[in-house]
Amino acid sequence: MTHALEIRNLHIYYNSFHAVKGISITIPTNTITAIIGPSGCGKSSFLRVINRMNDLVPHARILGEVFFRGVNIYDPSVCEIDLRRRMGMVFQKPNPFPFSIFDNVAFGLRIQNRRDKVFLQERVEESLRRCALWDEVRDRLHQSAYELSGGQQQRLCIARALAVYPDVLLLDEPCASLDPKATKRIEELLQKLKEEITIVIVTHNMQQARRISDYAAFFHSGELVEWGTSAEIFDYPKKQLTQEYTQGLFG
Ligand SMILES: Nc1ncnc2c1ncn2[C@@H]1O[C@H](COP(=O)(O)OP(=O)(O)O)[C@@H](O)[C@H]1O
Ligand SMILES: [Mg+2]
């Protein structure tokens, strides 16, 4: 099995605060890895390091190595703009841009200077189809994205990320603001997408993590307590803390 990502001895500091403490983990290609753990344990920080979004956070300092397909992404020769194209990111609150549905999905392509109208139309349709959103929006592509429901907006954000053909999709609690039906659609979508891309998802929902993930990593107070297949983490955890967390004894 090949690894999309390999994180070695990652430490993250915000000023003198040590938020992530020596995490090492590998993320196999075409799998879903769930990052779980209580609030403040470093899940979002970890995700932001993977596509170098933490570069944009003032006072953040990163030690350790992150390999993406064998290349250390913190090597000075790596272009972080190109890296972020290859790693889509989706956040807890759907964040469509104040444009039309079409222009949201085309956004990343236009940044790449792709102007050909036919190409843009094809890629927008394809991305919306991959997110099972096409049939719901095909007749209103030029209406504001804000007119969509929360669940549709979140699928639109995934479509926007997919339009530039990323290798990795990073999702930070993408269903936290959605109802169960919209959540189910996103879960089905991720299951399908993993055939083509590698997915890392932060979730607070243990049922969700168990349903959709192949691997799971349990973080606590900035440390990686345990990491393994989802069956190992949820059914046969080695550490008592993992068992207590996954059984909902603390949040
Ligand atoms: N930009 C920042 N500046 C200072 N502290 C931060 C910043 N981002 C996160 N932290 C702190 O780092 C710790 C981990 O945060 P975070 O990665 O957001 O955790 P989680 O996503 O698991 O809730 C928390 O204590 C949080 O307050
Ligand atoms: Mg978070």
pLDDT per residue as tens digits for the range 145-195: 999 999 999 999 999 999 999 999 999 999 999 999 999 999 999 999 999
Residue 139 has pLDDT above 80, yes or no: yes
User: For residue 15, how far is its CA from the centre of ligand 1 (angstroms)?
Assistant: 12
User: For residue 248, how far is its CA from the centre of ligand 1 (angstroms)?
Assistant: 22
pLDDT of residue 75: 92
Residue 1 has pLDDT above 70, yes or no: no
Q: For residue 43, what are the domain limits?
A: 3-95+168-246
CATH assignment at residue 223: 3.40.50.300
pTM of the full predicted structure?
0.96
Q: Which token pair is 86?
A: 């290859």
pLDDT of residue 47: 97
Asked whether residue 175 is domain-assigned, the answer is: yes
Residue 122 has pLDDT above 70, yes or no: yes
Out of 12, 13, 15, 17, mutate this one to test ligand 1's pocket (max ligand atoms within 8 Å of CB): namely 17
Asked whether residue 39 is domain-assigned, the answer is: yes
Question: Can you tell me the distance from the alpha carbon of 244 to that of 241, in angstroms, rounded to the nearest whole number?
Answer: 5
Asked whether residue 34 is domain-assigned, the answer is: yes
For the chain, how many structural domains are there in total? 1
